[in-house]
Amino acid sequence: MQDPAQDERAVLARELAYHEELYGGFAQTHFARPAVRALRRHMVRRLLTVSGAGPGSRVLSLGCGIGDTELLLAPHVGSVTGIDLSPSAIRQARADASAAGIRNAEFIEGAFEHLDGAFDFAFGVFFLHHLPDASLDAFPERIASLLAPGGVFYSLDPSRWRLAGALGRLIVPGLMRRYQTPDERELDPWTTAARFEAAGFASRVAFYDFFSSQFAGLLPGFESGYRMARAADEVLCRIPLLSRLGGNFEVIARLSAAPPEQNCSTPRVS
């Protein structure tokens, strides 16, 4: 029988190798394209909406990569701590923070299990679906230990039931594999939320999009096309039952406060 700890180490090693290659140059160029930047700005607006984070909030980002989302978020909160396994990503994030004159963001290389503190808001954008099953099961209790009373955790991950995934596997299976690590997988939204419920959170599921995130990834230079796709998603994610076929789902989990009402609208972030 395979040792679960050995399996987890092997998964993390493969994930690190993949992301070191990704952050060796491709990500820096790709993430700077107009449609991807527009996607990141929308994500920041959404993060601020669901969390209620503001100028006094201490924020933690898990799997921060090169920090492009975190640096957009930093002017709106008290502080941002980003953590990632990839040394290349952290070097880039620190360099970009310095170049932008952003002083309330720090970036740490390593695993989040070694952190301590009481964060008001923690989030993982496309983070949970990279975790091995044993780590995912243990995650809610671990993140609870890093949140202040009333703290919020937000995740955004690909849904097992996503229409875009089914179409992609049917039409362009090779392209789908190109943008996936060997061990990542789609998650069931309600099973994921139930993990947080079992750890003492009040959690809910919402759907972020159908096609707009994928559009930004595939056509990163076409910002107006992304905006049209996003506008369509704003309608689709409000439709009961149909929204359950959304591409990426959110889990919003609160330690002691009632979850906010579902709302696809978001405030303006420059």
CATH assignment of the domain containing 219: 3.40.50.150
Q: Residue 200 sits in which domain range?
A: 4-254
The predicted-structure confidence for 26-58, as pLDDT tens digits, reads as follows 888 989 999 999 999 999 999 999 999 999 999
- Answer whether residue 263 is part of any domain: no
pLDDT in tens, the chain (270 residues): 556 666 777 877 888 788 888 888 888 898 999 999 999 999 999 999 999 999 999 999 999 999 999 999 999 999 999 999 999 999 999 999 999 999 999 999 998 877 887 999 999 999 999 998 999 999 999 999 999 999 999 999 999 998 765 555 555 455 445 556 777 899 999 999 999 999 999 999 999 999 999 899 889 999 999 999 999 999 999 999 999 999 999 999 999 754 444 444 444 454
* Number of domains, the chain: 1
- Answer whether residue 41 is part of any domain: yes
- Answer whether residue 178 is part of any domain: yes
Counting beta carbons within 10 angstroms of the beta carbon of residue 46, is it exposed (0 to 12), middle (13 to 18) or buried (19 or more)? Answer: buried
- Answer whether residue 112 is part of any domain: yes
Query: The tokens of 188 are what?
Result: 């069931």
- Answer whether residue 187 is part of any domain: yes
61 within 8 A of 80, measured Cβ to Cβ: yes
- The contacts of residue 38 (CB under 8 Å, 6+ apart) are 216, 223, 226, 227, 230
pLDDT of amino acid 149:
93
Q: Output the pTM of the full model.
A: 0.88
